[in-house]
Structure 1
């Protein structure tokens, strides 16, 4: 049975891959794992938190100019140290799981508007840096798949999705359909495409974190909620910031 702990493991592996492949870093501070990649600086599912350890992470973020800083928690972890360090409660990931056979029955593996891609010229201007992330789809052996949706005579870029293989599980990430193109079945087609690619590579189940906006789509495609987590966020204060004072007695 796939559990919330499995969902958290796949999420951590995805952040770690993105950081280390795309020029960032993943590091441990005692029992805490931090990744610094295209998702920013993130603390991934600690079991025990201390104010001193959290502030060390914030010092690293300040030194690198990396804000906001995210912290992902299981629902049973005490967040007091994050609140003490100035983090604020954010959105709650709804962890969802599906048998990929059920997804295949509900969502097409391919369609006229959705294709798997290893590079694209869809990202320009302020979004140009996102194109670098498609290098993940070119890794060999393959562990990540990117799908894009294009519609109309001009092949307008309408949405995207990723899947990532971690053992027998496929994580689904960064799935979005831009507002003008919603309610056309593109979300279902994107989900089907990336899940089919991971299934062909050996995955048996898919996991993802959903928001209220996307949950209905995922349920329609065979996903069920198995748990809920929490995110916390630290935003740099406006203006000059003094270094955090040293904290003793709490390693």
Structure 2
């Protein structure tokens, strides 16, 4: 199957919506704009009035920062006019879910509890430990047959020991067992080498914008 940037955006939006449910933050639709986890998710056209309502709702729910995730073909001028500043550029990456790597004994998979309706988990967390200390973590989230990987983090003292690869293998294997065929994620330049070693290819670029709300 061919994975597109639109697929990556769809999985990212689903992940943020799930986080909104778990954390109790806002997730809503308003005049063509989708908001989740306090952020504006991949609009095609940004209506200034709807944008202002979304920012105000996020403010009322206690947000200190409002983000906007965009494709490079979307006109960002309404964001700039509202005080948003251009931020980092996600590098969208995709690849086969089977990384072909051995399990790392330093990494433990912790599946989330099934929902109240009895459905199986659709998100998984892997935690790494080194020398008895917490040494990183990563999430995977299943959407149809795509697994989004999020929040891969290994603290600096534990980097360059293969823990990032072990975390990727653990969450991808869990998602594969639930039916995932491909993995997608957004990378910063710092994470790019890790994901390339895991067989992912860069398929596109996005952009983020950020508004810091006064306290």
TM-score (norm 1): 0.81
Larger Rg computed on CA atoms: 1
The residue number in structure 1 matching 2:19 is: 18
The residue number in structure 2 matching 1:98 is: 95
1:140-151 residue pairs with structure 2 within 5 A?
140-151=119-130
Query: Given that residues 141 and 148 in structure 2 are in contact (C-alpha distance below 8 angstroms), is that contact kept between their aligned partners in structure 1?
Result: yes
Shift of residue 59, structure 1, vs aligned partner: 1.4
How many angstroms apart in 1 are the aligned matches of 2:141 and 2:61?
28
Shift of residue 116, structure 1, vs aligned partner: 0.4
How many angstroms apart in 2 are the aligned matches of 1:187 and 1:14?
20
Q: Which of 209, 229, 235 pairs up with 2:186?
A: 209
Shift of residue 12, structure 1, vs aligned partner: 0.3
Shift of residue 21, structure 1, vs aligned partner: 3.0
Deviation string 1:129-175 (CA, Å, 9 cap, x unpaired) is xxxxxxxx1134110110000011xx100000010110000000010
Change (3 A) 1:63 1:23: closer
Q: Which of 116, 133, 136 pairs up with 2:109?
A: 116
Structure 1: runs of 5 or more not aligned: 119-136, 239-251
In the alignment, structure 1 residue 138 sits paired with structure 2 residue 135: no
The residue number in structure 2 matching 1:245 is: none
How many angstroms apart in 2 are the aligned matches of 1:199 and 1:63?
39
The residue number in structure 1 matching 2:175 is: 198
Q: Which of 155, 179, 182 pairs up with 2:159?
A: 182
Which of the pair is proportionally richer in helix? 1
Deviation string 1:67-109 (CA, Å, 9 cap, x unpaired) is 20000001110000000000000000000001113x1x2x32x
How many angstroms apart in 2 are the aligned matches of 1:194 and 1:162?
6
Shift of residue 181, structure 1, vs aligned partner: 0.3
1:40-79 residue pairs with structure 2 within 5 A?
41-79=38-76
How many angstroms apart in 1 are the aligned matches of 2:59 and 2:123?
31
